[in-house]
């Protein structure tokens, strides 16, 4: 949620951000109009309530006809107070609804454009030349079936479309990859958290996922009212809801491990084959709570931490800066890390690192004490780095480390986590 005082004073900045995002500019005027209506309604209510209290004092001191007259006046005023309160509540509801529709303000340096207008920041690693090696690379699903490690058919039989079983050494390699990612995160100052995968609507709303991503979320209705998370960011960003944090020793850094669930509504095409775009997956995520003046340095550090995992795995990847029309609802700036998938002949997103500044913190009321620069407390900045290790990483490992005979080499960094296994498939 944005700061209403900022919107009042800098409506042009908010409108420009909405324009760059390709979203409603008129929504800013709707917010300002509803804000004026809300404030007027609250003034009327507060004035009537003050008058009611004043007459109440007079009633206590009056007697006879004067007291009866005042009592009658109080009853009449009580009706007006109720009406003013109802009007103020309705106006506040309309204002809140409009405010929560507004996306975060994109950073001025974020490149303008849509999904295909990203800016490549860097490319790392050599793309393997399979033709020079004399064989045609297989996709990860073919490889997984070949080593009895991926079973889509039985996954569909049990869970429906886009569910799957990982088995044997491939399942072990996923656990190895996730564990390695956690070890690396802890080395870089993150605290491991295994998070709830069911959250209250208020938590899901506070992180901003009930806007543009609402159709991707599984919801449990009566007798429960909870959501299945699509990322541990939701639980980690809601963990300190309504708290005042101590950031004197630096940002709070969390590494979340959770199962994740997404409906992937409307998704189609090649991504639906294999484990690239599925309904359930395990993931390691980064979330930070930082002071405003530190948050952009923390974003760059988060990108470096995500890159470190891909470098250790020896996977070719690139870093891109997302354009304003592709930045998520809650984010002000986002970098995507994309890994090379031979079966696509292209880079595919594997991690997304964003600075949400104080947008989520305002929605969840998360602050920190800052007595030196501000009286009392200020809203923290929240950051997230999704997909530190995820199913797509597994697909990339399998495809980039495949051998001509259909077996899969285990990346050197994962061999100790695999009990010394160096090749998957010899025992299949």
What are 92-110's pLDDT values in tens digits?
A: 999 999 999 999 999 998 8
In whole angstroms, what is the distance from residue 18 CA to residue 205 CA? Answer: 20
In whole angstroms, what is the distance from residue 208 CA to residue 197 CA? Answer: 17
Q: How far apart are the first and last CA of the chain?
A: 53
Provide the pairing of β-strand 423-424 with 408-409.
antiparallel
CATH of region 4-101, choose from 2.30.30.60, 1.10.287.40, 1.10.3470.10, 3.90.1170.50: 1.10.287.40
In whole angstroms, what is the distance from residue 328 CA to residue 358 CA? Answer: 14
What is the reported pLDDT for 135? 96
Is residue 428's pLDDT more than 50?
no
Strand segments (E) across 156-300: 165-166, 191-194, 198-199, 219-220, 226-228, 244-245, 252-261, 280-290
Q: What's the whole-number average pLDDT of the chain?
A: 91
Give CATH for domain 119-424: 3.30.930.10
List active site positions: 262, 277, 349, 352, 392
pLDDT in tens, 241-252: 999 999 999 999
At 378, which helix (H) or strand (E)?
A: strand 377-379
Is residue 418's pLDDT more than 80?
yes
What is the reported pLDDT for 392? 86
Is residue 427's pLDDT more than 60?
no
What is the reported pLDDT for 385? 94
Of 70-84, 309-323, 392-406, which gets the smallest average pLDDT?
70-84
How many degrees, rounded to 5, is the angle at CA 347 between CA 345 and CA 348? 115
Q: Which residues contact 242 (CB under 8 A, 6 or more apart)?
A: 364, 365, 366
Determine what percent of the chain is predicted with pLDDT higher than 70. 94
In whole angstroms, what is the distance from residue 212 CA to residue 147 CA? Answer: 39
pLDDT confidence of 59, banded at 50, 70, 90? low
Extents of the domains making up the chain: 4-101, 119-424
pLDDT in tens, 205-263: 988 888 767 888 999 988 889 999 999 999 999 999 999 999 999 999 999 999 999 98
Q: Which has more confidence, 63 or 298?
A: 298
Of the candidates 237, 283, 253, 251, which has an alpha carbon nearest to the alpha carbon of residue 189? 253
Cα-based torsion angle of the residue sequence 213, 106, 20, 266 in order, rounded to the nearest 10 degrees:
-10
pLDDT in tens, 305-343: 999 999 999 999 999 999 999 999 999 999 999 999 999
CA distances, 267 to each of 169, 214, 277, 408 (Å): 29, 14, 8, 29
């Amino acid at each position: 949620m944005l700061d209403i005082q900022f919107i009042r004073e800098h409506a042009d900045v908010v409108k420009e951000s909405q324009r760059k995002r390709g979203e409603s500019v008129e929504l800013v005027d709707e917010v300002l109009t509803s804000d004026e209506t809300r404030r007027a309604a609250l003034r009327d209510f507060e004035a009537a309530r003050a008058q009611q209290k004043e007459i109440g004092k007079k009633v206590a001191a009056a007697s006879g006809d004067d007291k009866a007259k005042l009592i009658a006046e109080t009853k009449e005023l009580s009706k007006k107070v109720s009406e003013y309160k109802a009007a103020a509540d309705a106006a506040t509801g309309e204002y809140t609804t409009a405010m929560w529709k507004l996306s975060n303000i994109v950073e001025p340096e974020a490149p303008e454009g849509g999904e295909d207008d990203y800016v490549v920041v860097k490319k790392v690693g050599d793309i393997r030349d399979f033709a020079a090696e004399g064989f045609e690379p297989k996709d990860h699903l073919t490889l997984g079936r070949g080593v009895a490690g991926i079973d889509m058919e039985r996954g569909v039989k049990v869970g429906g479309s886009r569910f799957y079983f990982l088995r044997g050494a491939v399942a072990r390699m996923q656990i190895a990859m996730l564990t390695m990612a956690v070890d690396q995160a802890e080395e870089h100052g993150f605290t491991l958290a295994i998070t709830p995968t069911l959250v209250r609507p208020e938590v899901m709303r506070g992180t901003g996922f009930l806007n543009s991503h609402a159709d991707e979320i599984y919801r449990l209705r009566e007798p429960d009212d909870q959501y299945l998370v699509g990322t541990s960011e939701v639980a980690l960003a809601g963990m300190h809801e309504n708290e005042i944090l101590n950031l004197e020793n630096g940002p709070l850094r969390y590494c979340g491990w959770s199962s994740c669930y997404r409906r992937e509504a409307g998704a189609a095409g090649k991504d639906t084959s294999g484990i690239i775009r599925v309904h359930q997956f395990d993931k390691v995520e980064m979330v930070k709570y930082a002071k405003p003046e530190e948050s952009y340095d923390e974003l760059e550090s988060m990108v470096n931490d995500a890159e470190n995992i891909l470098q250790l795995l020896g996977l070719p990847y690139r870093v891109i800066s997302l354009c304003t029309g592709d930045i998520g609802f809650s984010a002000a700036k986002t970098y995507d890390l994309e890994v090379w998938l031979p079966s696509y002949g292209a880079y595919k997103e594997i991690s997304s690192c964003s600075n949400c500044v104080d947008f989520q913190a305002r929605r969840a009321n998360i602050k920190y004490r800052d007595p030196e620069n501000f009286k009392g407390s200020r809203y923290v900045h929240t950051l997230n780095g999704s997909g530190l290790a995820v199913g797509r990483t597994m697909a990339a490992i399998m495809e980039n480390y495949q051998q001509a005979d259909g077996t899969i080499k285990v990346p050197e960094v994962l061999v100790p986590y695999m009990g010394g296994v160096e090749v998957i498939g010899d025992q299949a």
